[in-house]
């Protein structure tokens, strides 16, 4: 009986305490984030095997930022129109001068861009485990310097689904959870 209580307590602590990892975050120590009023989200690059992951993450980030009301967000079509004039294939290749110029054209104080490094589903027996990993950063458009950066990974297989072999969260749920945690490091 004593062992059963001990095992129950360990399981309860693990379930309540959560086994999740927090996002890795950088905030520029000298930047005053109160000056950020208007930002643009640059389409995220996709390094995963999931072909639609970059576009999906970009849309979820835009929606999350709109719902937070923390900033005025440039419409995605306007951002795409300005980016097309630079003929850039990979947004990570934007130069400091291009970032400053894009910032002036869009009338924004910050550009949010990033990369999807993993968006996958793995089957194990009768259950599926979805994983999403993103890296995002904001570049201040007056100087072209990174003022915020965050990376995070979410696996949809929770503690209880691991124990009981039930299905994990859907790809959409895992994506939203990952984005909320990353954006939460910027606006909370």
Give 36's contacts (C-beta < 8 A, 6+ positions apart).
71, 109, 110
pLDDT at 157 over 60: no
Domain limits for position 93: 27-187
Query: Is residue 21 situated within a structural domain?
Result: no
CATH of the domain at 60: 3.40.50.10610
Structural contact between residues 53 and 114, judged by C-beta atoms closer than 8 angstroms: no
Query: Is residue 31 situated within a structural domain?
Result: yes
Structural contact between residues 168 and 161, judged by C-beta atoms closer than 8 angstroms: yes
What's the whole-number mean pLDDT along residues 10-24? Answer: 56
Query: Is residue 74 situated within a structural domain?
Result: yes
Query: Is residue 22 situated within a structural domain?
Result: no
* This model's pTM is above 0.85: no
Query: Is residue 166 situated within a structural domain?
Result: yes
Query: Is residue 178 situated within a structural domain?
Result: yes
pLDDT at 65 over 50: yes
**Per the structure, how many domains does the chain have?**
1
Using 50, 70 and 90 to split pLDDT, how confident is the model at 18? very low
pLDDT at 162 over 70: no
- Lowest-confidence segment of 85-89, 138-142, 172-176 by average pLDDT: 85-89
pLDDT at 75 over 60: yes
What pLDDT score was predicted for residue 15? 42
Give the pLDDT confidence of 105-140 residue by residue, as tens digits.
Answer: 999 999 999 998 887 777 666 667 788 899 999 999
User: What does the alpha-carbon distance between residue 110 and residue 92 come to, in Å, rounded to a whole number?
Assistant: 15
- Lowest-confidence segment of 69-73, 84-88, 95-99 by average pLDDT: 84-88
- Lowest-confidence segment of 45-54, 67-76, 108-117 by average pLDDT: 45-54
Nearest Cα neighbor of 92 from 59, 44, 60, 57 is 44
């Amino acid at each position: 009986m004593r062992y059963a209580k001990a095992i129950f307590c360990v399981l309860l602590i693990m379930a309540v305490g959560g086994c999740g990892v927090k996002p890795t975050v950088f905030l520029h120590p000298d930047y005053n984030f109160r000056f950020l009023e208007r930002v643009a989200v640059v389409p995220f690059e996709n390094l995963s095997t999931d072909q639609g992951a970059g576009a999906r993450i970009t849309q979820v980030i835009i929606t999350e930022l709109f719902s937070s009301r923390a900033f005025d967000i440039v419409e995605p079509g306007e951002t795409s129109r300005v980016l097309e004039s630079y003929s850039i294939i990979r947004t990570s290749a934007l130069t400091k001068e291009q970032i400053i110029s894009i910032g002036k054209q869009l009338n924004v104080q910050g550009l949010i861009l990033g990369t999807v490094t993993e968006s996958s589903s793995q089957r194990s027996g009768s259950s599926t485990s979805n994983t999403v990993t993103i890296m995002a950063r904001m570049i201040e458009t007056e100087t072209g310097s990174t003022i915020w950066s965050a990376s995070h990974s979410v696996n949809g297989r929770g503690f209880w689904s691991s124990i009981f072999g039930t299905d994990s969260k859907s790809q959409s749920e895992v994506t939203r959870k990952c984005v909320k945690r990353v954006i939460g490091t910027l606006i909370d």
